[in-house]
Amino acid sequence: MITASVQTNLGDLNTALLGYERHSKKAPEQILRQKGTQIILGNSNPKYGATFKGLYDRLEERAPKEGTISQDRQRALDSANRGSRRPVKVRPRALARADELLEGQPSGVFDIIDFGRGGARKRVVPIRVFTKGKRQGVRSTSRRRAKSAQLLSGTSFLARERGTILNRKNLSILIELNQREAGRHYTAAAFLPKRFRRMRDENGTVKRSLAKNKTGATLGSATLHVKVDGASLHIEGFTPALAKPWAQQALSGVLAAVAKDTAAYSERKEAEALQRELTTHLRKAR
């Protein structure tokens, strides 16, 4: 999804880049790397023109503060316990993880451990007990799942004294909110500034860099194509939030800022050239 304003600002930027190339006498590859970095980082130094925030900072500002998502956790759980049909939208990935942890049981017993600042996130640890042998009924403390240990059922008489009983609905909501808390900065992370400093050559004409999360999923990419007659830069983000109006507004704003800054450079150079020409003409007139 690209809004009309983004298309317009992109056109303005491309027009400004033509003038910048003429006055700066830099190679297209150098210009695109410089302006691509400005799109991501912005400009914080007045020495190099008007200051403005880049795309990374603009998107980072819109990320929920740590803990704000988890503040909804108890309300969501309470809503589920009251029988609400849809207290929070749970994505398939969270449901799949809940089913995996429940091991086919309708409910299980879990330790819920706070971590992050102020317990913003919750680590869900299944409580497993041995089902046979001398340790039957004893909790397994191994991180690896023992063959003779299984998840303690929520209907077990030991359940309430061992931990928190969670059914599929409550567990999936807990996992969903954890995933949302963990992904607060994914939209901004798709445009990590360091990617533009670490672009690797894929071949003689393509330089590329990827931004990935901890699981290896690609959040964004930057690709610089160098040609004999010019160059092109492709900056892409693969997080769904980029289709939202606030993200499109951030992109539109930063493109407009870079275009304005680039056009100002060309105008200044043209004014300097005109002043030099006028000075030369006056000297000859004397």
41 shares its domain with 144: no
Judge whether residue 115 has pLDDT over 80. no
82 shares its domain with 223: no
Tens digits of residue pLDDT in 178-232:
877 777 777 887 777 776 667 777 777 788 888 877 777 788 888 888 877 778 8
Residue range of the domain that includes 119:
71-182
195 shares its domain with 277: yes
Q: What is the mean pLDDT of the chain?
A: 79
Last-in-domain residue among 158, 182, 206: 182
75 shares its domain with 168: yes
> What contacts 230, CB < 8 A, 6 or more positions away?
28
The residue count for the chain: 286
Mean pLDDT over 126-130 rounds to 80
Beta strands 42-43 and 206-212 are unpaired
151 shares its domain with 233: no
| Number of structural domains found in the chain | 2
Share of the chain above pLDDT 90, in %: 6
Tens digits of residue pLDDT in 75-113:
655 655 555 555 677 889 889 999 998 988 888 888 888
- Residue 3 pLDDT level (bands cut at 50, 70, 90): low
Tens digits of residue pLDDT in 234-278:
888 888 778 888 888 888 899 999 999 999 888 988 888 888 888
CA separation for the pair 258, 251 (Å, rounded): 11
205 shares its domain with 254: yes
- What is the predicted pLDDT for the residue at 95? 92
Last-in-domain residue among 131, 156, 182: 182
166 shares its domain with 25: no
Residue 140 vs residue 125, higher pLDDT: 125
The two three-digit tokens of residue 273, written as one number: 């050239």
